[in-house]
């Protein structure tokens, strides 16, 4: 079977920054505090660019559906409206938190991203509910 698979570089054209070997490793680590304060990499600050560059994994899709169901009083809201994100270090918790932040604070802007809009429509979600959003980036809290 591997004899039939082409090298991924033959079927995919990486972004220009990757082709030019100009990728910063820091770009892959979300700093939630900096992103919500409109600091740091534009890929995290800008809601549209964030979702244009974010692959909606099954886990992220499930989290978005659960949160929106809770906010709209859907079926999941009666089960448990407290969600616990648990992954290993580097498992995507901050990325998921930032996805929810952008989704809930900039719904009109992020709905311009085709794959996000399509996912929501396929999930039966016609609009993003209004929500009061609070963010407490615990990594920035003093340890004393």
pLDDT at 22: 73
Q: Give pLDDT tens digits for 92-141.
A: 778 889 999 999 999 999 999 999 999 999 999 888 999 999 888 777 77
pLDDT at 80: 62
pLDDT at 101: 94
Cα-Cα end-to-end distance for the chain: 57
Q: Distance between CA atoms of 102 and 51, rounded to whole angstroms?
A: 9
Q: Tokens standing for 5?
A: 């698979």
Residue that wins the pLDDT comparison between 80 and 106 = 106
**Mean pLDDT value of segment 61-89:** 74
For residue 77, pLDDT over 70 is answered with no
The angle formed by the CA atoms of residues 43, 113 and 29, to the nearest 5 degrees, is 25
CB environment 55-64: b (16+ within 10 A), e (fewer): ebeeebeebb
pLDDT at 69: 87
For residue 3, pLDDT over 70 is answered with no
pLDDT at 82: 67
pTM of the predicted model as reported, rounded to 2 decimal places: 0.75
pLDDT at 87: 65
Q: Give pLDDT tens digits for 4-55.
A: 777 777 777 777 777 787 766 555 677 888 888 888 888 889 999 999 999 9
Q: Distance between CA atoms of 97 and 120, rounded to whole angstroms?
A: 18
For residue 76, pLDDT over 60 is answered with no
């Amino acid at each position: 079977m591997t004899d039939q698979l082409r090298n991924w570089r033959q079927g995919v054209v990486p972004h220009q920054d990757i082709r030019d070997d100009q990728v910063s490793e820091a770009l892959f680590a979300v700093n939630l505090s900096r992103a919500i304060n409109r600091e740091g990499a534009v890929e995290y600050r800008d809601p549209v660019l964030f979702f244009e560059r974010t692959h909606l994994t099954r886990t992220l899709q499930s989290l978005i559906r659960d949160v929106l169901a809770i906010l709209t009083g859907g079926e999941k809201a009666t089960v448990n409206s407290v969600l616990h994100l648990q992954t290993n270090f580097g498992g995507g918790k901050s990325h998921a938190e930032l996805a929810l932040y952008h989704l809930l604070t900039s719904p009109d802007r992020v709905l311009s991203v085709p794959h996000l809009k399509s996912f929501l429509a396929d999930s039966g979600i016609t609009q993003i509910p209004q929500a009061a959003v609070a963010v407490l980036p615990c990594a920035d809290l003093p340890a004393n």
